[in-house]
Amino acid sequence: MDVDGDTNDDTSSDDIDGLLFETFRDVAEVGGVHEGPNEDAKKFYKLVDDANQELYPGCRKFSTLSFTIRMYLLKCIHGWRNASFTALLELLKEAMPDLSFHVSFNKTKSMIKDLGLDYKKIDACPNNCMLFWKEHKKDDSCHHCGASRWIKYPEVDKDLEESKKAHKVPAKVLRHFPLIPRLKRLFMCSKTAGKLRWHAEERSRDDRLRHPTDGQAWKEFDTKHQDFSLETRNIRLGLASDGFNPFRTMSLSHNTWPVVLTIYNYPPSLCLKAENCLMSLLIPGPRSPENAIDVYMQPLIELKILWYVGVETYDISRNQSFQMRAALLWTVNEFPAYVMLYVWSTKGKFACPTCNHETSSTYLKHSRKMCYMGHRVFLDSNHVWRSNAISFDGKPEYRSPPSLLDTTRILKDLQDIPDVLGEKKEMKKKVWSMEEKIHLLAITILEG
C-alpha cells in the first residue's frame, strides 16, 4: 500500500483482507479436534473471531480488525500523536454511531499487542554502557558512567521546565521485537507450519548443495545435538546485522543497526524472503555501537530460553502442542560487523578469523601494510603448488591447515579479559590558555 501517494481504495483494502485470509484461514478447522490448541492459541483465535465482525452492518469492504490495522498504520507512518488519534476515532464514532471499533488509542494498541504485532522499548545509556531494564528499569542514571537516562533541556522558562519534567524523554531507546510470540504464530497457520518441516521431509537428498541443510555445518550440528534434531519442527536461525542510514541522504551522518533473524527451516525459495526475515532488535544511532553492541544484544536472552528449555507451541498442521526449541546456527555479516559481533580484529597480524592465531602475515615496511600469505596450507598434501617455491614466497609449504578454535580455548583466552561495558572513554587533552603558553615559553627560554 502506497501511503505517500494516491492509492486505489479497492486494491489497498484487498491487500489487507488477503493478508488476513492467508494468516487466519485455518481457524475454523480447529473445532472438534482431539488434542486442541493451548491457551495462547485459544486467545489468538478468539481475537480472529472478533475480527470477523463487520465494521458496520452490511459492510463487505472492511472488518473491525482490517480497519483498525489500517488506522494504526496511518498513525505510525504519519506521526500522529496519541491524543489526535483518539480524537479522530471519537469524531468518526460520533458521526457514524454504527461503526464497530475501539474509540481510544490505548484500546487499539491493546488489540495490536494481543495479536503479537507490538514491540518493547528499552531505554539505554547514551554512552552505550547499559540498558535500563529488569532490576535497573526505574534507574535515572547509568551505573557505569553516571550519564543521565533522560534528555536534559536548557533552563529557559521554569514553567516550561516543569511541564517537561512531567514527561521525561529518554536519551536513547532500543526497540526489541520479541521472537517467541512470532515463532509460535508461524505454527498457527497450516500453510507456514508445514513449510517449517521442509528441511526434513521434502528436500532432495542427492548430495547437491542447494540449501544450508546440505552443508557440513548443519550435518555436524545434527550429529552433536541429536535430541534437538529429532524434532523436525525445531527452528534453525541465522543472525545478520549491519549499519545503515535510514534517512537516505549523504549529508546526514546517521548509523542505525537492525538485528535480523532468518529462519532456515524454509525451502530456498522462502527462507530469504523479506517477510520471513524477523526483525529482532533495532539499535539506535546516530553512531555505530561498535564494541558496545553486546550491551544491546542482551534482550536476545530469549534465544537461550529457546535452546535450553523451549516453549509450548500449538501446531495446527498436526493438531497438537509440542515443546518448540530454537538454535542460532551462524551469523551473516561483513568484516567490519564481524569485529563488533565476535570481538576479533580483522586487521593487523591476526586478521583472519579462520586461521586465528596461526595467520601467516608479513609486514611490508615500505608500504606500511600487512600482507597475508600461506594460503597453500589449505591445498591437498600432495598438491604440486606446495613444493613450488619460485612462484610464491620462495619457500615450500608443507604445513597442515590451522585448527579451528573450539569453545574451551575461546573461554580460556577470554577469562583474563576484563568485562568493561560501553565505549572506551578517550582522555581529553589539556587545552592551554595563551597566558599559560607564554609562561611555559618563558621558562623554556630561561632554562635554555
Question: DSSP string covering 77-122, please?
Answer: HHT--HHHHHHHHHHHHHH-TT--S--SHHHHHHHHHHTT---EEE
Cβ-in-10-Å burial (0-12, 13-18, 19+) of 222 comes to middle
What does the pLDDT read at residue 33? Answer: 37
What does the pLDDT read at residue 123? Answer: 94
Q: Would you give the end-to-end CA distance of the chain in angstroms?
A: 78
Question: For residue 155, is it within any domain?
Answer: no
C-beta atoms surrounding 381 within 10 Å: 8
Q: Which amino acid is at 261?
A: L
Question: For residue 300, is it within any domain?
Answer: yes
Q: Which amino acid is at 351?
A: A
- 3-state DSSP call for residue 261? strand
Q: Which amino acid is at 43?
A: K
- Specify the number of domains making up the chain: 3
Question: For residue 213, is it within any domain?
Answer: no
- Cell readout for 218 is 548443519
Counting runs of H as helices and runs of E as strands, what totals does the chain give? 17, 11
Examine the domain organization and report whether 133 and 78 are in the same domain.
Answer: no
Examine the domain organization and report whether 125 and 83 are in the same domain.
Answer: no
Q: Are the C-beta atoms of 364 and 271 separated by less than 8 Å?
A: no
Examine the domain organization and report whether 327 and 363 are in the same domain.
Answer: no
Examine the domain organization and report whether 44 and 125 are in the same domain.
Answer: no
Examine the domain organization and report whether 36 and 181 are in the same domain.
Answer: no
Residue with cell 565476535: 342
- Cell readout for 272 is 530469504
Question: For residue 114, is it within any domain?
Answer: yes
- State the Cα–Cα distance between residues 100 and 64, nearest whole angstrom: 6
Q: Nearest-CA neighbor of 99 among 48, 47, 58?
A: 58
- Cell readout for 276 is 520471513
Examine the domain organization and report whether 230 and 324 are in the same domain.
Answer: yes
What does the pLDDT read at residue 250? Answer: 67
- Cell readout for 309 is 528449555
Question: For residue 345, is it within any domain?
Answer: no
C-beta atoms surrounding 338 within 10 Å: 15
Q: Which residues contact 431 (CB under 8 A, 6 or more apart)?
A: none
Question: For residue 379, is it within any domain?
Answer: yes
- State the Cα–Cα distance between residues 342 and 331, nearest whole angstrom: 10
Boundaries of domain holding 234: 121-146+168-202+222-246+253-333
Residue 277 phi/psi, 5-degree rounding, is -100, 120
- State the Cα–Cα distance between residues 158 and 165, nearest whole angstrom: 10
Examine the domain organization and report whether 85 and 197 are in the same domain.
Answer: no
Examine the domain organization and report whether 107 and 72 are in the same domain.
Answer: yes
- State the Cα–Cα distance between residues 353 and 351, nearest whole angstrom: 6
- Using CA atoms, how far residue 219 sits from 120, 130, 199, 211, in Å, is 36, 38, 12, 12
Burial 64-74 (b: 16+ CB within 10 A, else e): bbbbbbbbbee
What does the pLDDT read at residue 18? Answer: 46
Q: Nearest-CA neighbor of 69 among 127, 109, 9, 42?
A: 109
- Cell readout for 267 is 525451502
Q: Are the C-beta atoms of 207 and 43 separated by less than 8 Å?
A: no
Q: pLDDT (tens digit, 0 to 9) for every residue of the chain, 448 residues total?
A: 444 444 444 434 434 444 444 444 344 344 433 355 656 566 666 666 666 778 888 888 888 888 888 888 898 888 889 899 999 999 988 898 888 888 888 888 877 777 767 789 999 999 988 999 989 988 889 988 888 999 887 665 555 555 555 678 899 999 999 999 889 888 888 788 889 999 988 888 888 888 999 998 999 999 999 999 999 999 999 999 988 888 776 667 888 899 999 999 999 999 888 888 999 999 998 888 888 888 899 998 889 999 999 999 988 888 888 999 999 999 888 888 888 887 778 888 888 888 888 888 888 888 888 888 888 889 998 999 999 888 888 889 888 888 887 778 878 877 777 766 666 555 455 555 666 656 566 666 555 5
What does the pLDDT read at residue 408? Answer: 82
Q: Which amino acid is at 348?
A: G
What does the pLDDT read at residue 258? Answer: 92
- State the Cα–Cα distance between residues 37 and 44, nearest whole angstrom: 10
Examine the domain organization and report whether 277 and 327 are in the same domain.
Answer: yes
Examine the domain organization and report whether 288 and 384 are in the same domain.
Answer: no
Examine the domain organization and report whether 233 and 301 are in the same domain.
Answer: yes
- State the Cα–Cα distance between residues 189 and 423, nearest whole angstrom: 44
Question: DSSP string covering 339-375, please?
Answer: HHHH---SSSTT--TTTGGG--EEEETTTTEEEE--G
Residue with cell 488476513: 20
Examine the domain organization and report whether 238 and 287 are in the same domain.
Answer: yes
Q: Are the C-beta atoms of 196 and 187 separated by less than 8 Å?
A: yes
- Cell readout for 190 is 497450516
Entry pTM = 0.74
